[in-house]
Amino acid sequence: MGMMSAADPPAPRTVTAGPGDAGQRIDNFLARHLKGVPKTRIYRALRKGEVRVNGHRTRPHYHLVDGDRVRIPPIRYRVAGEPPVVPVKLLDQVPVLFEDGHILVVDKPAGLAVHGGSGMEFGLVEALRQLRPDLDFLELVHRLDRETSGCLMLALGRPALVALQRQLAERRGIRKHYLALVKGVPSGGGAVTVDRPLRQIRGRDGKKQVIVDAGGQQATTVFRIRRAFADTALLDAELLSGRMHQARVHAAHMGHPVAGDRLYGDDGFNARMQGLGLGRLFLHAERLRIHHPDSGLRQDFFAPLPAALESVLSGQ
């Protein structure tokens, strides 16, 4: 879908929330109806009172009720033809693993954020909304770090989104497995469970970081050795919760930081891995299992390890 020019801004309009919109946050609702508009601009419209629900100002965390009348303001944004922040060649590298009208599963490449923000106007979601104007609804079910590749699932309808997020919250149906190359080889040879709460903080540079802290949110990761080398190991990391940077922080906490991790890793180890050709974080969402939100049947999705990471393993 082409974007309107600054000379021809969209007119204000009122949209009535239906049963399928009930429970959705107003910021996500606006993002769906203002395709291509950066979230930062949407939040500014909410703060300035440009958006009205039933004639009143509202906040980003407001959850819609069936029958709410939402005034969507005219918003000027990128003129048609201007290049998006996300390179087209990178978007061409996003394979679709599965699509059926309820869910869309893609193999996200490393280096591509899942959504705009933190200085990036466009991410995978915004780009997909432009490339797939036939999709009336497209929302993330879960997230991956910008530096992480692999299985990423999006919902193509509100009922699917609610059902899948319930599976995540209740820890049933959904299983997520990552591959991580780490420093050293965990002892014992079996499964190592790290059950440590995680808390978000702001680093010295103002960016979000995560630490192990008793006052944080509960988080559990099960690590299993997939392949052991002389002084590194390829681990299967099963996330039993979905906290920010969870696998990376838990791996570092048990003394085996992930290769290429500039935030929680080991500088000397990272330099050595870079010498073997590693130019990114060695963390890949390899497998994703769900109970389908419509049929209830179990489905498994698989994203093969990128060739660049396979090459690093061959040098171990």
315 contacts 298 by C-beta, under 8 angstroms? no
For residue 277, the model assigns a pLDDT of 93
For residue 260, the model assigns a pLDDT of 97
Question: For residue 88, is pLDDT > 80?
Answer: no
Mean pLDDT across 142-148: 92
Q: Which residue has the higher pLDDT, 3 or 103?
A: 103
In one-letter notation, the amino acid at residue 299 is: Q
The catalytic site residues sit at: 145
231 contacts 266 by C-beta, under 8 angstroms? no
For residue 81, the model assigns a pLDDT of 46
Return d(Cα 40, Cα 28) in angstroms, integer: 12
Return d(Cα 121, Cα 110) in angstroms, integer: 17
| Residue-averaged pLDDT of the chain | 86
Query: 229 — phi, psi (to 5°)?
Result: -115, -170
**Residue 258: which pLDDT band, with cuts at 50, 70 and 90?**
very high
The pLDDT > 90 percentage for the chain reads 60
Find the radius of gyration of the CA atoms of the chain. 21
Question: For residue 227, is pLDDT > 80?
Answer: yes
| 134-138, 191-195, 270-274, 301-305: the lowest-pLDDT one | 134-138
**Residue 83: which pLDDT band, with cuts at 50, 70 and 90?**
very low
Q: What is the pLDDT of residues 97-135, one digit of tens each?
A: 999 999 999 999 998 888 765 555 567 887 787 777 788
Beta strands at 283-291 and 298-302: parallel, antiparallel or unpaired:
antiparallel
| 11-20, 55-64, 259-268: the lowest-pLDDT one | 11-20
Residue 27 is inside which H or E element, if any?
Answer: helix 26-33
**Residue 172: which pLDDT band, with cuts at 50, 70 and 90?**
confident
Return d(Cα 53, Cα 64) in angstroms, integer: 9
186 contacts 223 by C-beta, under 8 angstroms? yes
For residue 93, the model assigns a pLDDT of 66
**Residue 170: which pLDDT band, with cuts at 50, 70 and 90?**
confident
For residue 120, the model assigns a pLDDT of 53
| 16-30, 119-133, 300-314: the lowest-pLDDT one | 119-133
Mean pLDDT across 274-287: 96
Give the N- to C-terminal CA distance of the chain in Å, as an integer.
46
Cβ within 8 Å of residue 46, ≥6 positions away: 26, 27, 30, 58, 59, 60
Residue 117 exposure: Cα atoms within 13 Å on the Cβ side: 12
195 contacts 213 by C-beta, under 8 angstroms? no
For residue 124, the model assigns a pLDDT of 86
Return d(Cα 155, Cα 174) in angstroms, integer: 14
Q: Is residue 176 helix, strand or coil?
A: strand
Q: Which residue has the higher pLDDT, 250 or 13?
A: 250
For residue 74, the model assigns a pLDDT of 78
For residue 301, the model assigns a pLDDT of 97
For residue 121, the model assigns a pLDDT of 58
Q: What is the pLDDT of residues 231-247, one digit of tens each?
A: 999 999 999 988 999 99
Question: For residue 6, is pLDDT > 50?
Answer: no
Alpha-carbon distances of 57 from 23, 70, 206, 217, rounded to whole Å = 18, 10, 30, 32
Question: For residue 90, is pLDDT > 60?
Answer: no
Query: 37 — phi, psi (to 5°)?
Result: -80, 130
Q: What is the pLDDT of residues 203-212, one digit of tens each?
A: 777 778 999 9
- Helix, strand and coil content of the chain, in percent to the nearest 5, comes to 20, 30, 50
pTM over 0.85: no
